[in-house]
Structure 1
Amino acid sequence: MHISELQTPALLVEQAALRHNLDTMSAALPGGRLRPHVKAHKCTSLARLQYANGHRGFTCATIREVETMAAVGLGEDLLLANEVLDTRRLGRLVEDGHRVTVAVDSAETIKAAAAGGIREVVIDVNVGLPRCGCPPESAGPLADLARRAGLVVRGVMGYEGHLMLVQPEAERREKTEQAMRRLLAASADVGGELISAGGTGTCTVNIWANEIQAGSYALMDTAYEQLGQPFQQALFVLGRVISVSAGWAVVDVGLKALSLDHGLPSIDGTEVWFCSDEHTTFRTDGVPQPAVGDLVRVRPAHVDPTVALHDTLHLVDGTQVLEQWPVDMRGW
């Protein structure tokens, strides 16, 4: 199939860039040093490629992601890096022989894990991002509470998400070390084999965690591209020019097809002015004039919520569609 046959907007994944990204990360963080985060792509077909590259454990953000990974045979070691208060669906997966570990940061989430049939947890530690996670000094007592509840405590996790886009790299490294010192202090009190942290933005500087939860590296976006990492933009939203005026044109890719939480998308060779529900308006002064019907590749600024808006990833080689992968971990 030629990409011109696709209904737009449509998600494209360039095969060569994807393969480059997977292999580059696997060389830098082989095997268990990387626990890929599937929230970035929500696609078990892509997760299978990561598994084939030697990564047997995965990070998930939702119960649905855990369930879907287990259903396709990728339930060897799944970490739900999120607090949940109803773990019954996860407990059924454990009963079926899948390894599911859940993040906890309070007595309530520990009680919920035990009540739902979870057997293994990690203590989620606040390392500077004001979101989930307990204070480092509370990690040890929470681990003791979890063990008294009959749970195995595998270790600690902490997400330095507030540092992912910090520039320059030297500052990002320094602040990551500060965050990880908090996590290492908690690990000393908690015990266990896991010190799990990180993401695509800090994967090249975080040398303190023994596993990194990066996900966006596989597809990339324009926000992470600014860091100068060795990964390539593989994800694009394909659209068609639907209107042309003096000085601007409009492509049928809008807020319902990509996320703007990290800023406007980009279109090579021009300037994006703004996005609305179904449209992206871009400048045409001083650039080759588009025509109604022209195909345009829009580069999203944030991969995770962009992918979650679509049903299908189209694996392409240039203009040829090679495969169509369902985004089968969408929803709740």
Structure 2
Amino acid sequence: MQEQSTQQPAARSRAVRLDAFGGPEVLDVREVPAPQAGPGQIRVRVTAAGLNPMDWIMTADVDTAARFGLSLPAGFGTDYAGVVDQAGDGVTGFAPGDRVFGGALSRAVADFVLIDLDEGVAANEAHHTPEGVDDRTAATLAIAGRTASAALAVIAPGPDDTVLIGGAAGGVGVFAVQLARLAGARVIGTGSAASAGFLHDLGGDPVTYGDGLADRVRALAPGAVTAAIDLHGTETAHVARKLGVPDDRICTIAAQIDGVPAANGANAAPGALEEIARLVATGRLRVPIAATFPIDQIRRAVELQAGRHVHGKVVIDL
């Protein structure tokens, strides 16, 4: 049995709170009572929180929030990294001082998060942060890494494949491109003209999205595209069909198309996140951090991330 930390508990802490659902303008930093770890729980002193599109999508309106089980007042952000500073009765495997990362659904942008280790779900989890992975990077892994892994599992790329990835310069794209390359596949990634150099550095062949995409992809891959992942909407999926890719080797994450498989982070195989962390720790996968902000600039950070033109990840430092 793990004894509770003898560290003097903090009485107050900061957290981003919403009293209404909406855009970045509803996000405020509040002083709140510091949560205390109960039985089966750990308290994590958060040092970094990574932002994802789902953070602002699920808090944009009442109906969407309800589908995720959110009610007001609500917190914000899911991906976090930090240090365990309390361990409740019955906790095993974690102790104060352990570096951890994971997911805390719509409550990660805060000084402290409580993780109930008995729940064992992706939105309420902790994993040991490997040596060689800094906290900012660890705070970007849970949602985007799992989502990319789940999408790659659908199309199962290999050395004989050419994979078309739509939205390749975004938060999930940076993982999907590199994981496909590690599987031996060639990757063609769609993005803006400004993202071409960024995608090339990740190991992909860049192509601009928009009208004429199919013709541009044909010019890059006269030997045919064999699989595709659409990380943004439906354009890439429809182009893949036009190029002769069978539906079972196309995957979407942000839209539904009849006959085309869809994936999300909840579909990722057990151990997928730990494997991604190991790839980062060994230098085989890198996570570009596009921008960092202090917690009191949360609105600016979300506005930047929601613009969908960020090359890499946006992180809040705490």
Greater Cα radius of gyration, structure 1 or 2: 1
Is the structural similarity TM-score above 0.5? no
User: What TM-score do the two structures reach when normalised by structure 1?
Assistant: 0.32
Which TM-score applies when normalising by structure 2?
0.33
Q: Which structure has the higher relative contact order (CA within 8 Å, separation 6+)?
A: 1
